Amino acid sequence: MIAFSSQTKTNIEYTAELLRKAKYAVVLTGAGISTPSGIPDFRSEGTGLWSRDEPLEVASLSTFRTDPERFFVWFRPLASQIFNAAPNPAHEALAELEKAGRIQCVITQNIDALHHKAGSRYVIEMHGTLRTLSCAQCFKKAEAKDYLESFVEQGELPRCPDCNGLLKPDVILFGEQLPQKAWYDAQRESRRCDLMLVAGSSLEVLPVAGLPMQAIDRGSHLVILNNAETYLNVRADVVIQEDVAAIMPAIAEQVING
């Protein structure tokens, strides 16, 4: 049993009350919800992926097209971590809240598919997903699970079974636009909700970081659960700067079981 401070307990209870009263609650998640599952984030000083690599040199569409071997050498450790990762209690708590009818949608900046693995049904993936791959030549789609294991274990580049072209992970690289349908859907859900809960996002990456503003500009409540400050802390009804994998299950327990 985790011992929370009295202030944290009050914030958990208030968040639970907001979720119980909400008619349409939406959750926005970022890398911080998946770091407890062993997946590194991109921007944390010293540990983030961009503290070791220059993003435009390894994770761009240009690199994939002109030097795919370099891209896949960089991508292989991350793919291994994602391939072997399991949902943590925060993912599971959100799936339970959706099943209980307390949240209606999860918008995520993550590519790891852990919300799906946890059982969430309505997930908008803003930066794409590692669940599928697409051929760079004939555009045929393939299930990533059929290729990732051999890629992770032997370094075998994923190739299209039809034309032998390289299969690109369906994640958004630098130089690519956000998927149009996902962006429209995310804006619609943000403008529709009467409560937005931000979990594990520093709200630094545009345009997704602007979605909570679209919500609160239309009168929505805002809860921020993140271990570092965000630009919207001053506008939030509740701010909890603690471990999302500990706090989110406590909120779900309070909402569902009182």
CA atoms within 13 A on the CB side of 135: 13
CB 53 within 8 Å of CB 40: no
Give, rounded to a whole angstrom, the gap between the first and last alpha carbons of the chain.
17
Q: What is the pTM of this model?
A: 0.92
User: What are the tens digits of pLDDT across the range 154-180?
Assistant: 888 999 999 999 999 999 998 899 999
CB 236 within 8 Å of CB 223: yes
Residue 129 has pLDDT above 50, yes or no: yes
Active-site hit among 115, 116, 127, 221: 127
CB 242 within 8 Å of CB 198: no
* Overall average pLDDT of the 27-54 stretch: 73
The residues, any chain, with a CB within 8 Å of residue 101's CB and separated by 6 or more, are none
Is 116 among the catalytic positions?
no
What pLDDT shows up at residue 87? 98
User: What are the tens digits of pLDDT across the range 205-226?
Assistant: 999 999 999 999 999 999 999 9
pLDDT band for position 145 (cuts 50, 70, 90): confident
The residues, any chain, with a CB within 8 Å of residue 54's CB and separated by 6 or more, are none
User: What are the tens digits of pLDDT across the range 78-89?
Assistant: 888 898 899 999
